[in-house]
Amino acid sequence: MTDLENLSQAVVSTGAVGCTAHIMVIGAHAGDAENMAGAAVLQHTRAGYTATIVHLTLGEAGHRTLSPEVYAEQRKQEVQASAACMGAKAVWLNYADGFLPVNQEVVLQVADLIRQERPTILLTHWKGSIHKDHIAAYQIVQEALFYAGLPSLKRSAPAHWVPQVYFPENWEDMEGWRADVYLDVSEVWEAYLEMLKTHALMRGGVSTFRYFDYYNALGTTRGCLGGFPKAVALMLPDGAWTRQVKRLGGNPSRD
């Protein structure tokens, strides 16, 4: 059992009442969480974890021909379909694409979600991004993690501390990002690609960027570097070290 698995096992065994192995991903737009963390989610839900995918906006302003109102409805269907493929719950907040605020309202909404869902692992954007909403998402999540774990702050759900936080690889968030963990996702790679195709953005015709080709090739590249057929790379907080793992934490019902 790896150090990461030991940590998660200890949290599940001795943490708050009702704490189970749960992976949460928080993305700025619909599609972000799926692109950068969908394979990691599949790797864990197939091992018995529960999962929640949080979209801070629907990314409704990104279509070249559809209006934001029409595209928003399409994206709601897409995130529910992709969540079903991953065996996860889909949640989206009512903030406008391109105008994601960093304020107490949204921070507390996310903190409340963390308290309610009680993840043992959380993945989100790195701050070194070319997209303002991604930078905002990073700031929101860091503050929300603080408030989620603050016992003196009384909310509808009790405080919850998340023991493991990672920054998955996103092509827009690469300034200062580094690969610290290579996660073996070989067994779920084809399922990950099929999940991506539930989004029109992945199938082409929405953006000029070749999302599907990029993330498919990235799995091979990271697999070469990590020593697996297919892998995804994650960034750890400063002071950690590079590791090669099968999963990010242990599941007491399976390990």
> From its phi and psi, is residue 122 left (phi > 0), alpha (psi between -120 and 50) or beta?
beta
Size of the chain in residues? 255
Q: Is the Cβ–Cβ distance between 125 and 28 less than 8 Å?
A: yes
Residues 84-142 have pLDDT tens digits of 999 999 999 999 999 999 999 999 999 999 999 999 999 999 999 999 999 999 999 99
pLDDT confidence of residue 6: 31
Distances from the Cα of 75 to the Cαs of 45, 60, 96, 212, in angstroms?
A: 23, 7, 13, 17
98: its two tokens: 């391109």
Considering only CA atoms, which of 22, 33, 78 is closest in space to residue 55?
33
pLDDT confidence of residue 250: 55
Q: Would you kindly state where each structural domain of the chain is located, as residue ranges?
A: 3-245
- Strand, coil or helix: what is 208? coil
Residue 33 has pLDDT above 50, yes or no: yes
What is the per-residue burial (b if ≥16 Cβ within 10 Å, else e) of 44-80? bbebebbbbbbbbbbbbbbbeebebeebbebbbebbe
127: its two tokens: 């701050």
The pTM assigned to this predicted structure is 0.87
Class of domain 3-245: alpha beta
Residue 14 has pLDDT above 70, yes or no: no
Q: Is the Cβ–Cβ distance between 97 and 134 less than 8 Å?
A: no
Q: Give strand pairing partners of 91.
A: 54
50: its two tokens: 């529960």
Residues 169-216 have pLDDT tens digits of 999 999 999 999 999 999 999 999 999 999 999 998 888 899 999 999
pLDDT confidence of residue 57: 97
